[in-house]
Amino acid sequence: MRFPVSRRGLLTAGVGGLSLGLLTACGLRLDQDPEIPTLDSTQQLRNRLARILDSTSPGSGDPETAGEDLADFVAAVGPVWNPPTEFATEAPPTEEERTFVQAAEVASRAVFEASSSVGSGLIPVLSDVATGLALLAGTKKPEIISTADELIRAGREELDQSKNEKPKKSQSADEGDESDEKQADRSKVFNAILNQSRAAAYGYERLAVNFDSKSRERKSALARLESLGALSGEMLELLGEDAADPAASAWKLDPTPTDADSAKELALSLEDGIASALLPWLEADASAILRLWESARTRMVFGAVQPLRFTYDEPGQAEVQE
């Protein structure tokens, strides 16, 4: 398992293609055809998202922030891949014109249907964009959220089944395959998630009591305790008993929840911490998509939907939000 994975190659390839087209148009002689990158299935999926978003215009029935959010999604996903026309073997595919909600439904389904097989270092941006699209559009069309949830869980089950079907090697063989440095990096990533999930569980135990027992927030907080327990258990299994950090007796909460408003603020902070800890795992393993989705869905209960959990100074390259 490698952390992190570079995602620059695909997104800069279009610039090279553009430069080549300009040189050809100027009449410069090329002694040989340039090497045109072949897009793998995940890169093709990113390209389809770019085409869908490029053909989207906010319309009636869309969220009020659709125009601003669409621009952020376009910047995160990056440009449509357009190889030089003189080397294209077929016409590039096109997407029909759609409103934001229509595009979000198609785009999120496309990503989550493929969630068990995405790779190429593009897992963070694809899952982040698809999650944001589904949750934002779901405020207008709730079935988009339920469909996304079903697809993500089905993809996770498929991934787990695939991993279980692989022949298991002995512990000594596993250790021989990974350098001490890689094992240490791997343990660091999983321990960071483990510690953040433990802290979040402690926080939700403290904040839940600030809401009425029948409120949406109380029910969501209690449900979140269950999913955080599953996340902690998953990290403990991946780490093994010897590599897992011990649990703290308590964690500092900022802010300390004393009423509904401070409890909501704490919930948002806890989920932002979870998303940050998940990013290195997400860069290497599509299994983490489910955990990002659970965090994003919980976060929207205590505040407005956060379109993107990560920042993108460069298209396709996720960074932790400051």
In tens digits, the chain (322 residues) has pLDDT values of: 433 333 344 343 433 333 333 333 333 344 455 566 688 999 999 999 999 999 999 999 999 999 999 999 999 999 998 877 666 666 677 899 999 999 999 999 999 999 999 988 999 999 999 999 999 999 999 999 999 999 999 999 999 999 888 765 544 445 455 678 888 999 999 999 999 999 999 999 999 999 999 999 999 999 999 999 999 999 999 999 889 999 887 889 999 999 999 999 999 999 999 999 999 999 999 999 999 999 999 999 999 999 999 999 999 999 998 7
* 113, 225: one domain: no
pTM of the complete model: 0.85
CB 289 within 8 A of CB 160: no
66-77 and 41-54 helices, crossing angle to 10° = 150
* 296, 187: one domain: yes
Q: Rounded to whole angstroms, how far apart are CA atoms 58 and 130? A: 17
* 147, 15: one domain: yes
* 277, 201: one domain: yes
115: closest CA among 74, 171, 155? 155
What SS3 class is residue 318? strand
* 15, 149: one domain: yes
Q: Rounded to whole angstroms, how far apart are CA atoms 112 and 280? A: 20
Structural domain contains residue 158: yes
Structural domain contains residue 3: no
* 142, 210: one domain: no
203: closest CA among 272, 154, 126? 272
Q: Rounded to whole angstroms, how far apart are CA atoms 80 and 63? A: 25
* 142, 216: one domain: no
Radius of gyration of the chain (CA): 22
Dihedral (CA of 277, 282, 285, 288) sign: positive
Structural domains of the chain, count: 2
Domain boundary among 162, 197, 222: 162
Structural domain contains residue 321: no
Domain that holds residue 256: 178-316
